[in-house]
């Protein structure tokens, strides 16, 4: 069963994995700049965001993280972090760049995570889950290290749902033998499109308290109100 799964899955090229690292590192560096971290913090968050998703992915797949065995991944993340120290003063609108790089990092890590999970012999649901975890782990680590609540826990524009949709699309395209190029393009369009649409069109999650209050208001529409106390 497992050999057939591996044989039928498409593998993403190495360049796509390194692109995910680079885009993730840019996002981490921009987060550090926005939160007024120093040089060490900026480079540190760049490395964390660039490598965090891949490290978690490989650990879940019971593999030694490729970031530790390859001579390429860490230098890419470090190089991007250092480059952003020079380039960020020339970026007029950091928030817009954050949204863009966040969306692309989300899509790239979801694709690579799902692909490597399929190659390892996992089923479609498990592979899609690994894609989501790989896509969101770097951002969670950045938030925790900078003292923020993890963005994925909301409330706010949909984030994890966009990664889940893109990961599921990649796995579905893979199972249908659509080919690696088609699977990547479809997944990226879904993930990036949903994420940017959420940011710019207000597709947001709500807090649990708001959900409860909403139910209470719906019930109040038909509630006759408190019963007056009996007279003397």
What was the pLDDT predicted at 5? 35
Cα(157)–Cα(7) distance, integer angstroms: 38
Would you give the DSSP letter of residue 204? B
Question: How far, in whole angstroms, is CA 83 from its chain's centroid?
Answer: 23
d(CA 134, CA 128) in angstroms, rounded, equals 10
**Neighbour tally for 6: CB within 10 Å:** 14
Asked if 113 contacts 152 with a C-beta cutoff of 8 angstroms, the reply is no
- Over pLDDT 70: what percentage of the chain? 83
Summarize pLDDT for 14-54 with one digit per residue, the tens: 888 899 999 999 989 988 988 889 999 999 999 999 999 99
Does position 156 have pLDDT exceeding 50, yes or no?
A: yes
- The pTM of the full predicted model, rounded to 2 decimals, is 0.80
């Amino acid at each position: 069963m497992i050999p057939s799964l591996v044989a039928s899955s498409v593998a993403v090229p190495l360049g796509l994995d390194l692109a995910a690292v680079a885009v993730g590192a840019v996002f981490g560096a921009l987060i550090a700049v926005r939160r007024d971290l120093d040089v060490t913090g900026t480079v540190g968050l760049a490395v964390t965001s660039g490598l965090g998703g891949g490290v978690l992915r490989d650990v879940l797949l019971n593999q030694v993280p490729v970031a530790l065995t390859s001579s390429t991944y860490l230098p890419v993340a470090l190089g991007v972090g250092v480059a952003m120290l020079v380039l960020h003063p020339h970026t007029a609108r950091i928030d817009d760049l954050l949204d863009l790089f966040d969306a692309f990092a989300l899509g790239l890590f979801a694709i690579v995570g799902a692909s490597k999970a399929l190659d390892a012999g996992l089923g479609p649901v498990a592979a899609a889950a690994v894609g989501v975890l790989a896509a969101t782990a770097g951002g969670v680590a950045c938030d925790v290290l900078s003292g923020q609540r993890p963005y994925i826990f909301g409330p706010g524009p949909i984030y994890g749902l966009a990664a889940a949709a893109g990961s599921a699309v990649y796995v579905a395209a893979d199972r249908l033998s659509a080919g690696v190029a088609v699977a990547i393009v479809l997944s990226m369009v879904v993930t990036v499109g949903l994420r940017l649409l959420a940011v710019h069109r207000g597709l947001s999650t709500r807090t649990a308290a708001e959900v409860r209050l909403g139910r209470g208001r719906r019930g109040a529409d038909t509630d006759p109100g408190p019963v007056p106390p009996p007279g003397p």
